[in-house]
Structure 1
Amino acid sequence: MLVDTEGLENFIDENAIHEIIRTTTQPESARVRDILDKAREAKGLTLEETACLLQAEDPELNEMIFETARAVKRAIYGNRLVLFAPLYVTNECGNNCTYCGFKADNTELDRRTLSPEELQREVRVLEDMGHKRLLLVYGEHPKFGADWIAETVQTVYDTVAEKSGEIRRVNINCAPLDVEGFRKLSDVGIGTYQCFQETYHTKTYAALHPTGHKKHFLWRLHALHRAMEAGIEDVGMGPLLGLYDYRFDILSCLAHAAELEKRFGVGPHTISFPRLEPALNADIAFNPPYPISDMQFKRLVAVLRLSVPYTGLILSTREDRIMRRELLDLGVSQISAGSRTYPGAYTDPNYDRPDVQQFCIGDNRSLEDVIQEIVQNGYIPSWCTACYRLGRTGEHFMELAKKGFIQEFCHPNSLFTFKEYLHDYAGEATRSIGIPLIQNEVDNFPAKRRDLVETRLHRIEEGERDLYL
């Protein structure tokens, strides 16, 4: 595939974003309070308002930001939390990203691409854990085109484990394709196409991506445009925090989101915000040029929730369990769990292997351990995929979400998927805390809705699966 950047424009105005950051440094308390009053309406924030909150260092103002984010998160998402796992299909790569263990010139990395049979084995392990949603991750090697990626997606969908195991949602993180290539992925039924710009600062981007297709900043910047032109309605974006000033990259990411909404009527389905983590033979990954503190990181997540209240916020296992727990309340709506970051990892008994993984992870707990903790904190784990199969995606999903749809449909559907998990996969300790949580949620439904939910929960107990509203 040829990379053609002719006619592509950089819609990220670097000078304007730097000026916004400069003029909102140390915002006045009254200004921050006014912005938070607006944020409670869940209608989003401007870049200037977002920059003010990102730079509010006063502890009292920080707590006000956190509390506002908690309130908005509860109002829109309730206590529902979506879970997924990444599945690495290949770590072969043609790029030389200086911060990544998969970079082409890392000769110490054990390269591997899963065969269809190996991919099936990985999927069955994940299905036997209880996973229903996967993110397939591919090294960006030019020899892996859209046809091959589409075949791997179909292999995943066709793989069914013995219990009630089947994958109902396959999301994709792969190299940017042309419109025709993205159309092939759309035709095979992928969910979200995810592509991170890493950093939006062009000078830094060029220094960090010296060779390979990824060196073409504009080709990557317009990847989500091409995906949406091809019919993929749900896309995901995000910066890699630590490569450049996080304030600049977060504001640029939001400008990117606004550009998509202007062009296609809807912004990204999800935003991710991974922090740079150590990786084999990637010195910059051990010493980020722009480190972000834990407090800055927590504030960033809270501010994102206020800036784009209806956009899913994804948290990976790069963060440790303590940070992950704190961020659930502040705005995160999706988390990975039981993750491993190299091809063949889920069938590998010795999974902690820096010689093969893309980066080091901070939360090594199993899926069930993560579920137990979030349930103990009052969250309902969800593997719901109803919207995608009923066509409630893209602009249609956002329209419904703003009318309270998430609570009306996604909340009951989360209970159905959690009920499945408890019956088919969970241990006794998890069932002992999960069943009472479901019952408590059911008791709080209005009477008419409660009857409908209880009927479907009973049908699941009787052996039916994959029920949704």
Structure 2
Amino acid sequence: MKDFINDREIHNLLESSKEPDPLEIREIMAKSKEKNRLNPEETAKLLQVNDTDLLEEIYQLAGQVKQSVYGNRIVFFAPLYIGNRCINNCLYCAFRRDNEAVERKTLTMDELEEEVLILENKGQKRLILVYGEHPDYNADFICKTIRKAYDTKTEQGEIRRVNINAAPLEVDEYRKLHDTGIGTFQIFQETYHHQTYSLIHPKGDQKSDYQWRLYGLDRAMEAGIDDLGIGALFGLYDWKFEVMGLLYHTIHLEEKFGVGPHTISIPRIEPAINTPFYNNKKYHVSDEDFKKIIAIIRLSVPYTGLILTARESAKIRKEMIPLGVTQIDAGSRIGIGGYKQSEEGYIPEKEQFHLGDIRSLDEVIAEACELGFVPSFCTAGYRCGRTGEHFMSFAKPGLVHKFCMPNAILTFKEYLLDYASPETIKAGEKLIAENLKEMAVKDQARKEMIVEKLALIEEGKRDVFV
């Protein structure tokens, strides 16, 4: 069977795009500046830019495009690993079934509630639940965990958005998740290169079926889940090829469903316990090339959220976020039961991979304020129906921030009142005041609306949004 990833076509495009004309590159950048999604030929040319001055222009424009579409906000979330049982033997993953160094565990509903309560008491409002690929983690089980996360509340805390990272499902299984109130469903292809995919996903495993995984999000769309997340694990194959694969996946979803991915994730492979595959350095991505990945994806798909996780170090995240990132996790633990263990002063070693940034949520928020980004826990768009095609109608012309910036400020205010340290409160209140002052210049009515809603929050009302 054919699929929409043509390895030869991608390689030919990259080869024919070497040593691009700077004038043509600036014409491509001008197209992206108008928030137009690039085509494969244009992205291939950007990927072949090596001139230092031209790269700096690309980096600066990437930040400007992100600002024009999403505003100066960063959405925060936390991953919550539900279980690490797995029937696959992916060479790069510590959770592969033959890895005896990992203790297999699935959270009970009581343990899941404990983990959610810990996260809520830190101020988290958005979760992504992560599951190994195993028959135990079927649609009914996933639905049960989604309901438990939503039903677990404290006096001030609650989870308002549950996203899912799990194995591809059948259409009728996706429908169950849709009816339970799922947010985004993520499937990472890991690598779009067919031969590499076969090499690292042993034949006979569920995950060895490239096309079953590739079309997993098509089935989600058919089931009514119109918020989708794609991603590649950078370091398995040539990073330029993977960027092109992500773009072709985006184009496929646009052409078939009229809706591109809500998010693109860009993890780099990290060391993991008893997982020697990491030592194969052939395709490791340098920090400088990682900058190119982020900036070029931002220019290629201006409307899509870009996720940078705590796999990366605090230093790298600080450097990369201004290039176009829209979502990050913070205070993360990726062991099964890792949040409770962390509260007890223990950080698990037997996780899926090593985290680079284990700072607390409050520390990362304080740094975001320092960088001038408004931390956001907003989930209003999903509950107001601003998803899928409706969301794209706002995102593509760059109107997302008209809703999302007010909601970022409102949810950040909640965090400052309920959870923040004194230092973060001081920095956060200053940042809110600066943003309101700037907003008043462009839209006084919107600024006054936000001020009124901020007053409601100060009086004790929560979950205030526009």
In the alignment, what sits opposite 2:363? 369
In the alignment, what sits opposite 1:381? 375
Structure 1 residue matching 2:195: 3-state secondary structure: helix
In the alignment, what sits opposite 1:427? 421
In the alignment, what sits opposite 1:111? 104
In the alignment, what sits opposite 1:289? 282
Give me the whole-angstrom Cα distance separating, in 1, the residues matched to 2:460 and 2:398.
31
TM-score (norm 2): 0.97
Offset, 1:108: 1.3
Structure 2 residue matching 1:31: 3-state secondary structure: helix
| 2:456 is the counterpart of 1:463 | no
Partner amino acid, structure 1, of 2:53 = E
| 2:313 is the counterpart of 1:358 | no
1:223-372 maps to which residues of 2 (within 5 A)? 223-348=216-341, 349-355=344-350, 357-372=351-366
Contact 1:276–1:288 (CA<8 Å) still a contact in 2?
Answer: no
Offset, 1:467: 0.5
Contact 1:340–1:351 (CA<8 Å) still a contact in 2?
Answer: no
Offset, 1:61: 1.1
Partner amino acid, structure 1, of 2:456 = R
Structure 1 residue matching 2:14: 3-state secondary structure: helix
Number of corresponding residues: 460
Offset, 1:225: 0.2
Partner amino acid, structure 1, of 2:432 = I
Give me the whole-angstrom Cα distance separating, in 2, the residues matched to 1:451 and 1:35.
39
Residue by residue over 1:389-415, the C-alpha shift from the partner in whole angstroms, topping out at 9 and shown as x without a partner, is 011100110102234432211100100
Partner amino acid, structure 2, of 1:174 = A
In the alignment, what sits opposite 1:122? 115
In the alignment, what sits opposite 1:4? none
Contact 2:35–2:398 (CA<8 Å) still a contact in 1?
Answer: no
Consecutive unaligned residues of structure 2, counting only runs of 5 or more, are: none
In the alignment, what sits opposite 2:181? 189
Offset, 1:416: 0.4
Partner amino acid, structure 2, of 1:125 = I
Partner amino acid, structure 1, of 2:411 = T
Give me the whole-angstrom Cα distance separating, in 2, the residues matched to 1:60 and 1:95.
45
1:108-257 maps to which residues of 2 (within 5 A)? 108-162=101-155, 164-210=156-202, 211-257=204-250
Q: Which moved more, 1:283-292 or 1:217-226?
A: 283-292
Structure 2 residue matching 1:86: 3-state secondary structure: strand
Structure 2 residue matching 1:292: 3-state secondary structure: coil
Give me the whole-angstrom Cα distance separating, in 2, the residues matched to 1:19 and 1:251.
12
Structure 1 residue matching 2:19: 3-state secondary structure: coil
Identity fraction in percent:
50
Give me the whole-angstrom Cα distance separating, in 1, the residues matched to 2:136 and 2:306.
32
Contact 2:302–2:396 (CA<8 Å) still a contact in 1?
Answer: no
Give me the whole-angstrom Cα distance separating, in 1, the residues matched to 2:12 and 2:57.
26
Give me the whole-angstrom Cα distance separating, in 2, the residues matched to 1:401 and 1:34.
22
Offset, 1:351: 4.0
Structure 2 residue matching 1:82: 3-state secondary structure: strand
Residue by residue over 1:74-120, the C-alpha shift from the partner in whole angstroms, topping out at 9 and shown as x without a partner, is 11122111000000000111100000000000011011100000000
Partner amino acid, structure 2, of 1:313 = L
Give me the whole-angstrom Cα distance separating, in 2, the residues matched to 1:181 and 1:118.
25
Offset, 1:143: 2.6
Give me the whole-angstrom Cα distance separating, in 2, the residues matched to 1:457 and 1:155.
30
1:57 is aligned, of 50, 53, 66, to 50
1:60-79 maps to which residues of 2 (within 5 A)? 60-79=53-72
Residue by residue over 1:107-155, the C-alpha shift from the partner in whole angstroms, topping out at 9 and shown as x without a partner, is 1101110000000000000000000000000011123210011100100
Give me the whole-angstrom Cα distance separating, in 2, the residues matched to 1:108 and 1:377.
40
Give me the whole-angstrom Cα distance separating, in 2, the residues matched to 1:381 and 1:156.
22
Structure 1 residue matching 2:367: 3-state secondary structure: helix
Partner amino acid, structure 2, of 1:183 = R
Contact 2:150–2:160 (CA<8 Å) still a contact in 1?
Answer: yes
Give me the whole-angstrom Cα distance separating, in 1, the residues matched to 2:73 and 2:13.
35
1:95 is aligned, of 84, 88, 98, to 88
Contact 1:89–1:137 (CA<8 Å) still a contact in 2?
Answer: yes
Contact 2:35–2:397 (CA<8 Å) still a contact in 1?
Answer: no
Give me the whole-angstrom Cα distance separating, in 1, the residues matched to 2:166 and 2:282.
26
Contact 1:29–1:61 (CA<8 Å) still a contact in 2?
Answer: yes
2:384 is aligned, of 390, 393, 397, to 390
Give me the whole-angstrom Cα distance separating, in 1, the residues matched to 2:117 and 2:197.
38
Identify if the C-alpha distance between structure 1 residues 57 and 69 changes in structure 2 by more than 3 Å, giving closer, same or farther.
Answer: same
Identify if the C-alpha distance between structure 1 residues 302 and 354 changes in structure 2 by more than 3 Å, giving closer, same or farther.
Answer: same
Contact 2:254–2:260 (CA<8 Å) still a contact in 1?
Answer: yes
Contact 1:277–1:286 (CA<8 Å) still a contact in 2?
Answer: no
Partner amino acid, structure 2, of 1:465 = R
Residue by residue over 1:416-447, the C-alpha shift from the partner in whole angstroms, topping out at 9 and shown as x without a partner, is 00000000001111101111111121222222
Partner amino acid, structure 2, of 1:137 = V
Offset, 1:55: 1.5
Consecutive unaligned residues of structure 1, counting only runs of 5 or more, are: 1-7
Q: Which moved more, 1:58-67 or 1:403-412?
A: 403-412
Residue by residue over 1:220-258, the C-alpha shift from the partner in whole angstroms, topping out at 9 and shown as x without a partner, is 011000011000010000110010111111101110111
Give me the whole-angstrom Cα distance separating, in 2, the residues matched to 1:237 and 1:76.
20
Give me the whole-angstrom Cα distance separating, in 2, the residues matched to 1:268 and 1:286.
32
Structure 2 residue matching 1:444: 3-state secondary structure: helix
Contact 2:62–2:298 (CA<8 Å) still a contact in 1?
Answer: yes
Give me the whole-angstrom Cα distance separating, in 1, the residues matched to 2:452 and 2:8.
58
In the alignment, what sits opposite 1:453? 450
1:400 is aligned, of 383, 394, 410, to 394
Structure 1 residue matching 2:336: 3-state secondary structure: coil
Give me the whole-angstrom Cα distance separating, in 1, the residues matched to 2:171 and 2:23.
47
Give me the whole-angstrom Cα distance separating, in 2, the residues matched to 1:90 and 1:351.
19
